[in-house]
Amino acid sequence: MPREILVTSALPYANGRIHLGHVVEHVQSDIWVRAMRMAGNTVHYVCADDAHGTSIMLRAEKEGITPETLIGNVWKEHTADLRDFGVAYDHYSSTHTDANRKLTYRIWRALEQNGHVESKPVKQLFDPERQMFLPDRFIKGECPVCHSKDQYGDACEVCGSTYNPIDLINPYSVVSGAKPVEKQSLHFFVKLADFEGLLKTWLEERRAAGGLQAEVVNKLKEWFADGLRSWDVSRDAPYFGFEIPGQPGKYFYVWVDAPVGYLAAFKELCEGGSKSGLAAADFERFIRAGSDTEMVHFIGKDIIYFHTLFWPAMLHGAGLRMPTAVNVHGFLTVDGAKMSKSRGTFVNARTYLDHLDADYLRYYLASMLGPTLADIDLDLKAFEERVNSHLVGKWANIASRCAGFVHKLFDGKLAATLPETVHARYDAAAAKLEACAALYELRDYAAAIRLIIEVADEANAYVADHAPWVMARDESKRDELHIVLTLALNYFRLLTIWLAPIVPATAARAFAFMDDTPADFEAALRPLLGHAIKPFQTLVTRIEPKNVEAMIEASKESLAMNPTQGSPSPLPSPTNGRAGKNAAPESHTMNDTSVPSKPSSSSSETISIDDFAKLDLRVGKVLVCEAVDGSDKLLRFELDAGELGKRQIFSGIKAAYTDPGKLAGRNVVFIANLAPRKMRFGVSEGMILSAGSGGADLFLLDADDGALPGAPVK
Ligand SMILES: [Zn+2]
């Protein structure tokens, strides 16, 4: 029976770039979608940017742009990165849409009407300077347990204790540096206890049906031990999000409207016209309780709680269907360790794509992905070897060794029939690979690849045993040769059909060569006979170690390039050791791993005033600021430097300012006597100073109004 399935990936946060950690998830779900479609099912595949929250509000403020402009810019980057990794969403939206607002309100009103909402006053830390309540990650202070300095409001990174931000010693706001005060405010809650019995039943039922991994269910059971507390779903202004209906100044916590965003994106797809084959009515058919359609989420193991407790509770409480499956994967490590900016293993999607083919990584990740929560290691050496050995050596090689003879001796045509024994050989291979359909559904891509490679080895052994290059010299063996080539190329086609969900672009080239368009896995059951193929062209090239090295170098560079032009950064750190206007992302963000590192404590070495005097620091007025074509790190500045004339400076802060045009007219501080440096894009005449730990966490220094261009900074 064909099934109808809505598939989603966790929503990337619209405050940072897509990196290889995200790619794991989007590739995992994309492979699943392609495989389920090839198995004959109807699949709708949607995602969106998670666009709300304090981090986005503060970042937009820092850049002097509206949050809408910020998330619009990031959306463009995200969609391009995912598309170029072959991730083919039917619709990629944003949570900041009218559709999402309306759907969030609809669910909220239903929750209210069904009595699942309560309100009560909450005491929280408040930034008196910035006039805002502070999320836990925006408060730092001394750990009440081990007394380490500069720890976040919810947990200590040194001793691992978790606590309430009110317990921090000498707390300060990372937004303004001010000492927070306690303030009371009315908050709204969803009464999760109402759903305890329901959720327990749902978890067990989903586990039995294969919709939840046993590890996930076991983890969730711990949360039930003390009973489910009500979930605080409101935040006070200022906040970038949806205002709660009838409650001016109160906003939905981003984790309320983020998962609703899955459905809102799907609603937009349904209402977006006939291309999807869906209509507005399909959305209601899909979300009603008891719908016979399926809803499948792919997520990382850091956001299990939101997807398996809050989200199903919200849906059920609003009278809607619940998820069919929540598929959880582990985190990506590189060479056995956490992705690291200093080692160059924190690789952005775009940096990878600048150096390597998307299908290489899709293939390698698939070969590592199973149905468990285990972390996935990108071992760079194994990556190179496996792609070269499997895709080039075992797969493409079959076609490249046989195609020429078909064109030279048989007019480009495959034999019209196969002798029974040869046909049986094909049938056996086809039957063996049919098991891949179930492996794909179980997300055991690693096992599917093992099976595919087993058959590829059989095919290569067959070609080697019959040595068509030897047979071709013997005119009496023409018919036999034609059979050998026909079976070999059908082996190749069979393998390609089963590999297609994993390496779609590469498979498309192979099908173009075979002049074939197999629509589903069923096409693999019958060999292509009496069929004309196209001339062979290279389908996949070997990974060169230098490309992998260049990617790692470029990823290192993006750190080193942060402040300005390539030298390790002598960044002025706020002298009080605080993060200044540093905006740490809230810990709720889907997939966000870019928590800025702590400001480095000031060095104990001292310099003389003469050392300092060597620096010619000046105020510059930004005349022009723009992105640099061909660089994903640099912004090009033209500064009015007063008596020094105009200066062109390249600065590696693109990740921190998505709308560079907006910087025109403001003051910056730069080093005027740094030796000019010739770069690929032009000469850089100085270095602009910024504060922060790198990436999006960089803040240009400013001078108060009245400072003239060229004014010395002392
Ligand atoms: Zn501690």
* pLDDT tens digits, one per residue of 273-315: 767 889 999 999 999 999 999 999 999 999 998 999 999 999 9
Average pLDDT over residues 327-342: 93
Report which residue type is found at 666. R
Cα–Cα distances in angstroms (integers) from residue 29 to residues 9, 36, 127, 240, 300, in the given order:
7, 10, 41, 29, 12
Ligand 1 center from residue 110 Cα (angstroms):
42
Q: How do residues 686-708 score in pLDDT, each as one tens digit? A: 899 988 877 777 889 988 888 88
Answer CATH for 380-525 from 1.10.730.10, 2.30.180.10, 3.50.50.60, 1.10.10.10: 1.10.730.10
Ligand 1 center from residue 137 Cα (angstroms):
15
Other Cβ atoms within 10 Å of 142 Cβ, number: 16
Ligand 1 center from residue 167 Cα (angstroms):
12
Confidence (pLDDT) at 542: 96
Report which of 551, 554, 560, 550 is spatially closest to residue 695, judged by C-alpha positions.
Answer: 560
pLDDT band for position 607 (cuts 50, 70, 90): confident
Domain residues of the chain, as ranges? 4-113+196-214+254-329, 117-189, 380-525, 561-572+605-713
**Selection from 509-523, 560-574, 663-677 with the highest mean pLDDT:** 509-523
Ligand 1 center from residue 527 Cα (angstroms):
65
DSSP type of residue 710: T
**Per-residue pLDDT at 178 exceeds 70:** yes
Confidence (pLDDT) at 559: 52
pLDDT band for position 600 (cuts 50, 70, 90): very low
**Per-residue pLDDT at 152 exceeds 50:** yes
Ligand 1 center from residue 155 Cα (angstroms):
8
Average pLDDT over residues 104-111: 98
**Per-residue pLDDT at 596 exceeds 60:** no
Confidence (pLDDT) at 572: 28
What percentage of the chain has pLDDT greater than the value 70? 93
Report which residue type is found at 650. F
Helix (H) or strand (E) holding 14: none
* 3-state per-residue secondary structure call for 305-321: HHHHHHHHHHHHHCCEC
Note the CATH number of domain 4-113+196-214+254-329: 3.40.50.620
Ligand 1 center from residue 148 Cα (angstroms):
5
Ligand 1 center from residue 149 Cα (angstroms):
8
Ligand 1 center from residue 151 Cα (angstroms):
8
Average pLDDT over residues 129-142: 92
Rounded distance between C-alpha atoms, residue 455 and residue 452, angstroms: 5
Ligand 1 center from residue 165 Cα (angstroms):
13
656 and 688 Cβ atoms separated by less than 8 Å: no
Overall CATH class of domain 117-189: mainly beta
Confidence (pLDDT) at 671: 92
Whole-model pTM?
0.81
* Pick from 27-36, 251-260, 580-589, 612-621: least confident: 580-589
Ligand 1 center from residue 300 Cα (angstroms):
27
Average pLDDT over residues 130-157: 91
Rounded distance between C-alpha atoms, residue 438 and residue 669, angstroms: 60
The DSSP bridge partners found for residue 5 are 43, 294
Ligand 1 center from residue 166 Cα (angstroms):
15
Q: How far apart are the first and last CA of the chain?
A: 76
Ligand 1 center from residue 686 Cα (angstroms):
41
* 3-state per-residue secondary structure call for 552-614: HHHHHHHHHCCCCCCCCCCCCCCCCCCCCCCCCCCCCCCCCCCCCCCCCCCCCCCCCHHHHHC
User: 432: which 2 tokens?
Assistant: 């063996």
Ligand 1 center from residue 713 Cα (angstroms):
39
User: 374: which 2 tokens?
Assistant: 């285990």
Average pLDDT over residues 146-154: 91
Confidence (pLDDT) at 591: 34
In this structure, whether the domain defined by 561-572+605-713 belongs to CATH 2.40.50.140 is answered with yes
Ligand 1 center from residue 134 Cα (angstroms):
20
Confidence (pLDDT) at 570: 29
Average pLDDT, the chain: 90
Report which of 196, 185, 182 is spatially closest to residue 230, judged by C-alpha positions.
Answer: 196
Q: CB neighbours of 117 closer than 8 A, spacing ≥ 6? A: 108, 111, 188, 189, 190, 191
Rounded distance between C-alpha atoms, residue 597 and residue 151, angstroms: 11
Ligand 1 center from residue 575 Cα (angstroms):
23
449 and 457 Cβ atoms separated by less than 8 Å: no
**Per-residue pLDDT at 599 exceeds 60:** no
244: phi then psi, degrees, rounded to nearest 5: -75, 130
465 and 425 Cβ atoms separated by less than 8 Å: no
Ligand 1 center from residue 187 Cα (angstroms):
29
127: phi then psi, degrees, rounded to nearest 5: -90, 110
pLDDT band for position 586 (cuts 50, 70, 90): very low
Ligand 1 center from residue 600 Cα (angstroms):
18
Ligand 1 center from residue 146 Cα (angstroms):
4
Cα 551 from chain centroid (whole Å)? 18
Rounded distance between C-alpha atoms, residue 225 and residue 415, angstroms: 67
Helix (H) or strand (E) holding 655: none
Ligand 1 center from residue 25 Cα (angstroms):
33
Ligand 1 center from residue 159 Cα (angstroms):
4
Ligand 1 center from residue 161 Cα (angstroms):
6
Other Cβ atoms within 10 Å of 247 Cβ, number: 13
Average pLDDT over residues 52-64: 92
Average pLDDT over residues 548-566: 66
Average pLDDT over residues 26-51: 98
Rounded distance between C-alpha atoms, residue 260 and residue 644, angstroms: 55
Average pLDDT over residues 657-683: 87
Ligand 1 center from residue 126 Cα (angstroms):
23
* 3-state per-residue secondary structure call for 139-184: EEEECCCCCCCCEECCECCCCCCECCHHHCEEEEECCCCCCCEEEE
Average pLDDT over residues 167-175: 92
Ligand 1 center from residue 580 Cα (angstroms):
22
Ligand 1 center from residue 444 Cα (angstroms):
40
**Per-residue pLDDT at 563 exceeds 70:** no
- Going across the sheet that includes 294-300, the strands are 91-94, 42-49, 4-9, 294-300, 325-329
User: 623: which 2 tokens?
Assistant: 């005349």
User: 28: which 2 tokens?
Assistant: 């995992």
- Four-residue CA torsion sign, 11, 13, 17, 20: negative
**Per-residue pLDDT at 593 exceeds 50:** no
Ligand 1 center from residue 594 Cα (angstroms):
21
Comparing 659 with 30, which gets the higher pLDDT? 30
* Pick from 1-15, 104-118, 566-580, 585-599: least confident: 566-580
Confidence (pLDDT) at 311: 97
177 and 580 Cβ atoms separated by less than 8 Å: yes
Asked whether the bond before 238 is cis by omega within 30 degrees of 0, the reply is yes
Rounded distance between C-alpha atoms, residue 643 and residue 614, angstroms: 19
69 and 659 Cβ atoms separated by less than 8 Å: yes
- Sequence length of the chain is 714
Ligand 1 center from residue 345 Cα (angstroms):
28
* Pick from 18-27, 176-185, 701-710: least confident: 701-710
Confidence (pLDDT) at 577: 27
Rounded distance between C-alpha atoms, residue 143 and residue 151, angstroms: 6
415 and 478 Cβ atoms separated by less than 8 Å: no
Give the dihedral of Cα atoms 261, 267, 273, 279; nearest 10 deg.
160
